[in-house]
Amino acid sequence: MNFVEKIKAGDVYSVARLITLVERREPEAIKTVKGFYSQCGRAHLVGITGPPGVGKSCLVASLIQRFRLKGMSVGVLAVDPTSPFTGGALLGDRARMTELSEDKEVFIRSFASRGHTGGLSAAVNDAADILDISGKDVVLIETVGVGQGEIDIARLAHTVLLVLMPGYGDTLQAMKAGIMEIADIMVVNKADKPGGDETVAELLTVQNFQCVHQNSDTWVAPIIKTSTVTQEGLDDLTEAILKHFQFIKQQNIFAEKNRKRRVEQFLNIFTQRMRDEFMEELKTDQALQGWVDKIGAFELHPYSAAEQVISLVKEAREGRKKVRRQNN
Amino acid sequence: MNFVEKIKAGDVYSVARLITLVERREPEAIKTVKGFYSQCGRAHLVGITGPPGVGKSCLVASLIQRFRLKGMSVGVLAVDPTSPFTGGALLGDRARMTELSEDKEVFIRSFASRGHTGGLSAAVNDAADILDISGKDVVLIETVGVGQGEIDIARLAHTVLLVLMPGYGDTLQAMKAGIMEIADIMVVNKADKPGGDETVAELLTVQNFQCVHQNSDTWVAPIIKTSTVTQEGLDDLTEAILKHFQFIKQQNIFAEKNRKRRVEQFLNIFTQRMRDEFMEELKTDQALQGWVDKIGAFELHPYSAAEQVISLVKEAREGRKKVRRQNN
């Protein structure tokens, strides 16, 4: 078997190696991922987001077990904080989770953000495709939720879980930030602690407020109390995740979600490449250097500069369309 | 006086209003900022970053007082967390700081991130220009430092302060994240608590390790112990900030820093506009919709799609150059 065949067969070492290579943005690895593309789209991507400390990692460990009992294979992509200052606390959880991975049908990988979130997002997208191709039924994408960047990563999943805990008092914060709108399932974890029902009631209030105009075809995010200590609600959560996947497939939301994710991925790659090309050209192109000097010397505002380039791009596009029309 | 003249005269209400309008990205407000541009570049932008809880807000309050005693006017842009989950704790500090602003030579403004960091960065950039034009000598840009986004904002300043505290134990974290390389001044705040000297020693070790190849013309970031309780080090810090400004002006680093900031600003505006244009065109352009459908249907990989567009842009640029050469 060659490398690609090994990945398709789910060989753990080959999968791990390719993910490492895409994380480093190696051109050969990205070419491999591109080659896979027509065979992607089978796995169920589940995003798990929420504030630090609500027990997301333990919940992920419980979900892995539940899915395994159903005979499903599981991939986990754990996205560590974008923060250069925090993050140590997570490592303990991660070590705990890795115990599970003696099971060959479970693949767990952590991503720490080095530098910008854009690069992280690209690597996680590619890793999700690799796990998809390697035959994983479910890919859990856990983000620590401290930054908008992680939330953007979570929302690329087919099913998004928002995890809170009793008495967290952040329901309103989450609502304001538009998190609740993207949540397909709301989880009140650590339900063995007091205050769980109040948090559920709060979430219901917000949800009723938001769902006024929804019809019966629309998914109303279930609110599920869970505890990894008492095992409460974990089966319900597993079923809700699977039910949501069925729902989006029946309602043709699946294709729409894939399209949205891929357009976002395209725009991220494209804008990053435009930046790189610009900085590369700036090194040698004297006309461009002169133009940038004007920006730096307070002669040409960055807004005006952007407008100039945008209209050049537009002009080129119009010209192209004209040529196309003449050729037809 | 018209609106623009009032802003140039430092009228607090007009300045506040224009900042509100740029925060909402109102086209008229952005036009006003563009009109100012040739008169920008006087103010000293000071970025203040570091982990939550090290006392950045109190430090900012102390710095305001020190600069005021020197007869300098001060603007403060406080950038709140990108996190949709945290952030409440900061509001107390902010209320404390606002007390100072009965002084007309002090202008304080908080920015909460709504949605993506890109929009925040654009608004903070514009607000810094508005404060510059309004005659502020120093503009302190305080970020809470929980995400890469905030650090990117801080590094756009002329002088970057990295604030830590004794026993934080995050020196290594900060170093790994490349924060120490961007710091022009390192502050060990809360020096009234035990462990300050150890933290200074740690920072020195890292610094010596990094500075091996530096020559005498290079700025070596001073490490300053401060306490807003005992007032230790606050005068030294103020002097160090002013000294760094002198240094970058003498070494012609000032123009280079402005240029770098503006190129970054241009690239952010440009790529955001490209995204917006794309999404706008996608609504009506059927050829584009068909192309995107192929991406969403796993027929064309987002990487390949990006490459296609990049080569079209390149082609257009080459064509333009050719036309330019023929015309000369």
Per-residue pLDDT band at A82 (split at 50, 70, 90): very low
Whether residue B38 and residue A298 make contact (CB cut-off 8 A), yes or no, is yes
CA of B230 to nearest chain A CA: how many angstroms apart? 26
How far is it, in rounded angstroms, from Cα A70 to Cα A303? Answer: 55
What ipTM was estimated for this complex? Answer: 0.83
The enclosing H or E element of B68 equals helix B56-69
Q: Which among B33, B266, B313 has the least Cβ separation from residue A313?
A: B313
Residues B66-81 have a mean pLDDT of 89
How far is it, in rounded angstroms, from Cα A232 to Cα A229? Answer: 8
Neighbours of A16 (CB within 10 A): 14
Per-residue pLDDT band at A31 (split at 50, 70, 90): very high
A217's tokens: 């075809």
Using the Cβ of A290 and the Cβ atoms of chain B, whether some distance falls under 8 Å is answered with no
Partners of residue A156 in chain B, C-beta under 8 Å: none
Note whether A274 and A267 are within 8 A (CB).
no
How far is it, in rounded angstroms, from Cα B268 to Cα B271? Answer: 5
Q: Which among A115, A296, A309 has the least Cβ separation from residue B258?
A: A296
Strands (E), chain B: 44-49, 74-79, 106-111, 138-143, 159-164, 185-188, 223-225
The residue among A134, A104, A119, A112 whose CA lies nearest residue A36 is A134
pLDDT digits (tens, 9 = 90+) for B214-262: 555 688 899 999 999 999 999 999 999 999 999 999 988 999 899 999 9
Place of tokens 């008495």: A167
A298's tokens: 């307070």
Residues 6+ apart with CB under 8 A from A52: A86, A89, A144, A145, A146, B85
How far is it, in rounded angstroms, from Cα A275 to Cα B111? Answer: 26
Q: Which among B174, B282, B306 has the least Cβ separation from residue A85?
A: B174
Which DSSP category does A37 fall into?
A: G
pLDDT at B94 over 50: no
Q: How many Cα atoms within 13 Å fall on the side-chain side of residue A314?
A: 13
DSSP states along B277-323: HHHHHHHH-HHHHHHHHHHHTTSS-HHHHHHHHHHHHHHHHHHHHHH
Using the Cβ of B117 and the Cβ atoms of chain A, whether some distance falls under 8 Å is answered with yes
pLDDT at A213 over 70: no
How far is it, in rounded angstroms, from Cα B256 to Cα A205? Answer: 53
Q: Which long-range contacts (CB under 8 A, 24 or more apart) does A208-212 make?
A: A210/A180, A210/A181
Phi, psi values for residue B18, rounded to 5°: -65, -35
The enclosing H or E element of A164 equals strand A159-164
pLDDT given at position B167: 77
Residues 6+ apart with CB under 8 A from B104: B10, B12
Whether residue A86 and residue B146 make contact (CB cut-off 8 A), yes or no, is yes
pLDDT at B172 over 70: no
Which CA distances in Å does A287 have to A39, A281, B110, B321?
45, 10, 39, 11
How far is it, in rounded angstroms, from Cα A30 to Cα A18? Answer: 9
pLDDT given at position A283: 94
pLDDT digits (tens, 9 = 90+) for B290-323: 999 999 999 999 999 999 988 887 777 777 677 7
Partners of residue A270 in chain B, C-beta under 8 Å: 274, 305-306, 309-310
Does residue B324 or residue B204 have the better pLDDT?
A: B204
CA of A69 to nearest chain B CA: how many angstroms apart? 31
Residues 6+ apart with CB under 8 A from A242: none
Strand order in the sheet with B74-79: B106-111, B74-79, B138-143, B44-49, B159-164, B185-188, B223-225
Using the Cβ of A298 and the Cβ atoms of chain B, whether some distance falls under 8 Å is answered with yes
Which DSSP category does B106 fall into?
A: E
Whether residue B271 and residue A269 make contact (CB cut-off 8 A), yes or no, is no
* CB-defined contacts A:B, below 8 A: 228
Whether residue A270 and residue B305 make contact (CB cut-off 8 A), yes or no, is yes
CA of A85 to nearest chain B CA: how many angstroms apart? 6
How far is it, in rounded angstroms, from Cα A295 to Cα A305? Answer: 8
How far is it, in rounded angstroms, from Cα B289 to Cα B282? Answer: 6
3-class secondary structure, B78: strand
Per-residue pLDDT band at A88 (split at 50, 70, 90): very low
How far is it, in rounded angstroms, from Cα A199 to Cα A293? Answer: 55
- Measured between CA atoms, the residue of chain B closest to residue A149 is B116
pLDDT at B98 over 90: no
Whether residue B86 and residue A113 make contact (CB cut-off 8 A), yes or no, is no
Q: Which among A114, A278, A303 has the least Cβ separation from residue B267?
A: A278
Whether residue B173 and residue A298 make contact (CB cut-off 8 A), yes or no, is no
Q: How far is CA B119 from the centre of its chain?
A: 12
pLDDT given at position B173: 60
CA of B246 to nearest chain A CA: how many angstroms apart? 19
Using the Cβ of B83 and the Cβ atoms of chain A, whether some distance falls under 8 Å is answered with yes
The neighbouring-strand residues paired with A223 are: A186
DSSP states along A115-161: S-HHHHHHHHHHHHHHHHHTT-SEEEEEE--SSHHHHHHHTTSSEEE
pLDDT given at position B290: 94
Q: Which among B40, B173, B298 has the least Cβ separation from residue A85?
A: B173
A24's tokens: 């480093």
pLDDT at B63 over 70: yes
Residue-averaged pLDDT of chain B: 83
How far is it, in rounded angstroms, from Cα A299 to Cα A296? Answer: 7
Residues 6+ apart with CB under 8 A from B197: B225
Using the Cβ of B258 and the Cβ atoms of chain A, whether some distance falls under 8 Å is answered with yes
Using the Cβ of A119 and the Cβ atoms of chain B, whether some distance falls under 8 Å is answered with no
- Measured between CA atoms, the residue of chain A closest to residue B293 is A259
What pTM did the predictor assign?
0.82
B13's tokens: 């209400």
- Measured between CA atoms, the residue of chain B closest to residue A321 is B287
Per-residue pLDDT band at A180 (split at 50, 70, 90): confident
pLDDT given at position A120: 75
The residue among A75, A63, A99 whose CA lies nearest residue A16 is A75
Q: Which among A37, A174, A295 has the least Cβ separation from residue B85?
A: A174
Terminal CA-CA length for chain B: 47
The neighbouring-strand residues paired with A187 are: A163, A224
- Measured between CA atoms, the residue of chain A closest to residue B116 is A148
CA torsion through residues B11, B17, B18, B20, sign:
positive
3-class secondary structure, A282: helix
Strands A74-79 and A138-143: parallel
pLDDT digits (tens, 9 = 90+) for A239-294: 999 999 999 998 889 998 999 999 999 998 999 888 988 999 999 999 999 999 99
Does residue A252 or residue A67 have the better pLDDT?
A: A67
Interface of B with A in 226-255 (CB under 8 A): 255
Terminal CA-CA length for chain A: 47
How far is it, in rounded angstroms, from Cα B122 to Cα B109? Answer: 15
Partners of residue B41 in chain A, C-beta under 8 Å: 298
Using the Cβ of A104 and the Cβ atoms of chain B, whether some distance falls under 8 Å is answered with no
3-class secondary structure, B187: strand
How far is it, in rounded angstroms, from Cα B188 to Cα A311? Answer: 49
Using the Cβ of A320 and the Cβ atoms of chain B, whether some distance falls under 8 Å is answered with yes
Interface of A with B in 185-214 (CB under 8 A): none
Neighbours of B175 (CB within 10 A): 19
